[in-house]
Chains A and B, each alone.
Chain A
Amino acid sequence: MTCSAFINLLKADADFIKNVRLWKVTQAREAVYSAIPTDLAPALEQALRTRGINQLYCHQRQAWDHAQLSQDFVVVTPTASGKTLCYNLPVIQAILDDPAARAMYLFPTKALSQDQQSELNEITLAADLGVKIATYDGDTPNSLRASARETGQIIISNPDMLHSGILPNHPKWIKFFRNLRFLVIDELHSYRGVFGSHVANVIARLLRIAQFYGSNPLIIAASATIGNPGQLAMQLCGRKFEVIDKNGSPAGRKHLVLYNPPIVDAVQGIRRGTVNESQAIAVKALRARIKTIVFAKSRIRVELIASYIRDKLANHFTENNGIRVESYRGGYLPNERRAIEKGLRDGSIHAVVSTNALELGIDIGGLDLAILAGYPGGMSSVWQQAGRAGRRSGESMAILIASSAPLDQYMVEHGDYLSDSKGEQAFINPSNAHVRLEHIKCAAFELPFDELDQFFPDAEAYLNLLCEEGVLRKTQERWYWANQSYPAENISLRSASAENVVIIDTTHGKGEVIGEMDRPSAKEMLFPQAVYLHRGRQFLVQDLDIEQHRCYVEERQLNYYTDAVVKTDLKVLHEDRWHEQAGVRMCLGDILVRSQVSRFKKLKFKSHENIGYGEVSLPEEEMHTSFVALCMGEQTAAGQALLTIENEQRAPALLRTLTLLRQVAPAFLLCQYSDFGIAERLRDSHFGQTALYVFDAVPGGSGMAEAFASQIAVLLLAANAHLSSCPCSEGCPSCIGAHDSQTELGGNPKLAVKKFLQTWISNAGLEQHESESL
């Protein structure tokens, strides 16, 4: 059955249609072509023609022209629009012209690097261009590293490897850096917030070393979904970029369907679950031979959905009608993942159930149907996941299945919100003092600092401080690294801890590694007695040895799975300083964020009914970080404002105010939504009064809470303005959060928040202040 036929089938299915809240069709788009440039090397042109490319899309041609003029540029076009050719063409051409030329490709994850290498190989092998491409990351065996450094013309890596492996050892890369002509940064949108700020500093270090060896690479950036590409690229690399956003690639007709599952419990408003709904639709599609991808929000759900689909299709005699369904998520061994990606590309796998691990640009070929089991939490994720279905010609479809959560419900009931929104803006702050201090250390390790550094113009204050700490030594007007340590080793670009637990299958004494998991997740999913699902097989966890980073499991046949109950609490460790501003007393200091798995539920497969509990005794996962608490004693303007709100509305109003502040903060604090955490306490046990907590989401702190405190007045005004201009009536995900009719009895939360904010602002005299400053 073709996809069009399947879509018509769904349209005619009354049971399906009655749950559909929005059916939006995007018409097919014609390609806009440009000629292949005449100055392209004949061998390269031949390579394109063997791959069936006889002309370029207009954005690819535009990219070529910019590259020939040595202008840095950023390409922003949708998924599968041929972005990679935008940088591959100029890079390969430069290498064909001068075999000594070198290029560095940066991808945010290792999986993407692997994928890019196979894509590049296809081009270069098609015409035997003889360009040497090497992936250089944590998985590269030692035996291949030396030859990659010496002879690799295109090095594919990730920022983490660049930071901790390549830059600190730059003299080993001397040949590479001397001839570095291109720096390619793909998936630009993933470099945002604190992580993006780190990466900006890593790039400054790269350019600084390149300059030392006398090279100045052209920078090419690319991204699919981003609201401010030019600005982000400039902040990330410290240079001005030309933006190429006119998409010339064709696209088939696309259907976007918002699906709200039927209510099963009218009293509590509970709907049929996303797991069951998504597998039912997927099975329907697979029976019609439609290539399908299902995105689920957690690793457990991925395994559940995949095994349900497999069960439904299971048929011993026809070998499941030749339909292969795989699950895919982080934690599988690299070769397992490669095999699944390959199976999707060559068509031997018909459906895949995945976490957001397949959201980024890994090439898995064109699929017909994308099912999103639950709103993935961000607009860019919706577009990335929905974009996985779609081909250059022919129809494709994406179905978003809502869960019972308020946010999901808001999304399906307000279809225009979803279909109108543009790419999100990304903010970074490379001169964040916490981040910069660490990278100045690394940069000093790499090369001594002179009085004026082009790439770190604000370095002097940091250098003097590091001198006083004995890390650097200033002698004869230069700062030298004067410490025994290897600084990059202690600095992680990502907040997630790098520690991994390996999962060992001990069934019948096998002792075989079947997967891996980061430590915090391991405590939630691999506690003793947990059921671990791995590609449809069930394992019972025997022992979790956190210190040795090992988890021992045994294969079993069980009719239930497990789900951890996690408790999180905050403990103020140290009050650093107090100050009063914008009508609220603020305390800055250190906090311990603790989360612990205390017990687990046993849930039966299929029915998901709870069949028992078990206790877990594992050490807490602790994060020591900095925080600010907004304390609203009755004498403060904020406290007075709170008193004007009805009693039962106070707790929700506080939480929603905080949610609202969090929404507007990234633009002012130059970070991303997830860089800090929030908590509200109507009656806080530590401060003995109402308090709102904002804390850094990075162990050791990243300066977000501090910035939040210093900008509180601006944030309040911005929040108020944002709330007033938001067209929703009772709250929506882009302001105070969707209205949740289950927990909020009576009253409109939006009105309460509005009243609270406005009273606070006028009590504190902020409006006046604002008009004065204007």
Chain B
Amino acid sequence: MLGSSNMSQNLYNRLKAIRDAQSIVGASKSSAASGSGVYYSPQTLPQTFPQSLPQSLPQDQAWQWVSCGNCVWRRSFVVDLPQLKGQAATALSASGQVPGIYFDTETTGLSGGAGTVAFLMGWLVRLGPSSATVVQYFLSDYPGESVFVAAIIDELQGLFASVKDCSLVSYNGASFDLPLLKMRSAMHGLEFPAIKHRDALHPARSLWRSIYQNCSLSRLEHCLFAINRINDPGGAAVPALYSQWLSLNQNTGFEQHLGGVFEHHVQDLVSLVLIDELSQSILSSQPQLESLGATRSSLQAQLPWLPSKTEQQSSTSQLPQTNYVDYDPWAWFKRQNLEVQKKWVFALWRQNANNRWALVASRLLETTQALAILSQQHQKSLETCLAVRIALLLEHRLKDYTGALELVNQQLSLIASQASKHDPYQSDLNKRAKRLLIKIGRACRSVP
């Protein structure tokens, strides 16, 4: 009779053999689970704060992490935080929003479920016109989680008791952060208090989705405030960094290893405040949106960090002095009549220089002009939707079948070279190529 340790050793060896066999043939099943994602070297993660945001992280004692239990750490400090000015500020104060406790979490995974743990949570509270206080809690290893969650609940409850009439504000927290926090509390037998919560994602989406398509925090902070994070790990890489830290099996030194993550978290909080305040201000003044006159130059006065336009842009786009056209040109555009649309579409394309405006312009303008815009845009982005439109114009308006076919074939080989990405236009292109061949053949035959 074999001893049980011997038995489990045998099983272990068998499992090893199974795993080895799987890895030889590259069975992809386990790749997601093996954790061998891209590792980010901690050395490449220095300061993440944008050059355009006046930043001064205090270097005093308050900046240091303080242990508050097994594997649980806390720190709090003050950061600079700009404020809206002029009309926008008036509108914000008129919006009647209660003060916000801006909240964000970083987790070990993005998929949710009982195995996803929040390891970094924190919040930001505005102190006045130019600064805010930030609190961060960090979990340096799994066993500390119950203390971690309890400490956060405790401090948040205290905060809510002391600041009258405030609410938690998050970005997509209604469907991610808060359910997660509730789940983690439940798993440790803790009750998550009923706190007033507001999700800043929804108003932001209602304002900017139509123009920026994707309303992620990082996209909006870049588009609205020209914040460019330098060497920021990016939200998607954070879980890998944390798991890399854990695999080092160290008790200290996380400040160095995860510095980028901590700063990423602070930047998320800062951007969240800015986006929220701006969207509240715009939404509360919506009735007078038309008369707000928030052209780029007047906004510039209110948002000191907004970069000024380059000479070239301002000379080509003499946009009418109207309403929020910088924030949502599409909203303005679609309310105009055809003549006005035709008049401004070129300028709008020049200003925004994206596929969408190129496609809109190609529909409104005459063929040669449309082709010029499309091909310029296509040279830049190589997007298939543009190629399809150009081919359409060539085929149907100019009857240039060979030119169209050449472009279609080029685009098809481009798609083939990016085999991993499926292109929804591919079948359309294939059909077009077939038809063009027939047309070319016919044209050849009709020539005597």
Contact = CB atoms under 8 A, between A and B. Distances in A.
B32 A433 contact: no
Nearest to A173: B186
Interface stretch (B18-26, B72-80, B284-292, B434-442): B18-26
A490 B18 contact: no
B162 interface: no
B108 interface: yes
Interface in A327-370: none
Identify which of B114, B115, B141, B239 gathers the most chain A CB atoms within 10 Å of its CB: B115
Interface residues of A, number: 52
Interface in A127-172: 167-172
Contacts of B424: 548
Nearest to A441: B33
Interface string A623-638: 0101000000000000
B34 A486 contact: no
Given A470-B34, A470-B35, A471-B35, A486 B111 contact: yes
A476 B143 contact: yes
A590 B20 CA distance: 12
A547 B422 contact: yes
A514 interface: no
Given A473-B246, A490-B33, A626-B21, A460 B187 contact: no
A461 B243 contact: no
Contact of B246 (A437, A447, A482, A488): A482
A171 B187 contact: yes
B109 A168 contact: no
A484 B183 contact: no
Contacts, number: 132
A48 to B, nearest CB: 38
Contacts of B21: 576, 590, 626
B33 A437 contact: no
Nearest to B114: A446
A304 to B, nearest CB: 32
Contacts of A57: none
A202 to B, nearest CB: 15
A475 interface: yes
Identify which of B12, B32, B33, B187 gathers the most chain A CB atoms within 10 Å of its CB: B33
Contacts of A167: 114
B29 A484 contact: no
A448 interface: yes
B427 A545 contact: yes
B418 to A, nearest CB: 14
Contacts of A543: 427
Nearest to A444: B115
A170 B113 CA distance: 8
A169 B15 CA distance: 28
A6 interface: no
A561 interface: no
B186 A624 contact: no
Given A171-B184, A172-B179, A447 B114 contact: yes
B62 interface: no
B11 interface: yes
Given A461-B8, A465-B16, A590 B25 contact: yes
Interface string A158-196: 000000000111111010000000000000000000000
Contacts of B239: 484
A476 B246 CA distance: 13
Interface in B9-60: 9, 11-12, 14-16, 18-19, 21-22, 24-25, 27, 29-30, 32-37
A458 interface: yes
Given A172-B183, A485-B33, A590-B21, A461 B111 contact: no
Given A460-B8, A461-B9, A483-B35, A434 B18 contact: yes
B186 A174 contact: yes
B169 to A, nearest CB: 23
A574 B25 contact: yes
Contact of A486 (B25, B109, B142, B246): B109
Interface string A463-489: 011000111010110101111111111
Nearest to B34: A469
Contacts of A703: 18
A169 B115 CA distance: 9
Nearest to B10: A461
B142 A490 contact: no
A676 interface: no
A688 interface: no
Given A448-B142, A465-B15, A484 B114 contact: no
B201 to A, nearest CB: 17
Contacts of A626: 21
B37 A458 contact: no
Contact of A478 (B16, B143, B243): B143
Contacts of B183: 169, 171-172
Contact of B111 (A447, A485, A573): A485
A470 B33 CA distance: 8
Contacts of A469: 19, 30, 33-35
B11 A489 contact: no
A311 B29 CA distance: 50
Contacts of B112: 169, 486
A364 B53 CA distance: 69
A478 B114 CA distance: 16
B15 A471 contact: no
Contacts of B33: 441, 469, 471, 483, 485, 487, 490
Contacts of A476: 141, 143
B240 interface: yes
A57 B122 CA distance: 62
B29 A171 contact: no
Given A484-B109, A486-B109, A490-B29, A170 B18 contact: no
A167 B16 CA distance: 27
A394 interface: no
A695 to B, nearest CB: 14
A574 B24 contact: yes
B301 interface: no
A172 B24 CA distance: 39
The 4 closest A-B pairs by CB, nearest first: A445-B115, A171-B183, A486-B111, A484-B109
21 contacts: A170-B114, A171-B114, A171-B183, A433-B18, A434-B18, A437-B15, A458-B8, A461-B15, A464-B12, A465-B12, A465-B19, A469-B30, A469-B35, A470-B243, A483-B33, A483-B109, A484-B35, A484-B37, A576-B21, A590-B21, A624-B27
Interface of B: 8-9, 11-12, 14-16, 18-19, 21-22, 24-25, 27, 29-30, 32-37, 108-116, 141-143, 179, 182-184, 186-187, 239-240, 243, 246-247, 422, 424, 427
Interface of A: 167-172, 174, 433-434, 437, 441, 444-448, 458, 460-462, 464-465, 469-471, 473, 475-476, 478, 480-490, 543, 545, 547-548, 573-574, 576, 590, 624, 626, 700, 703
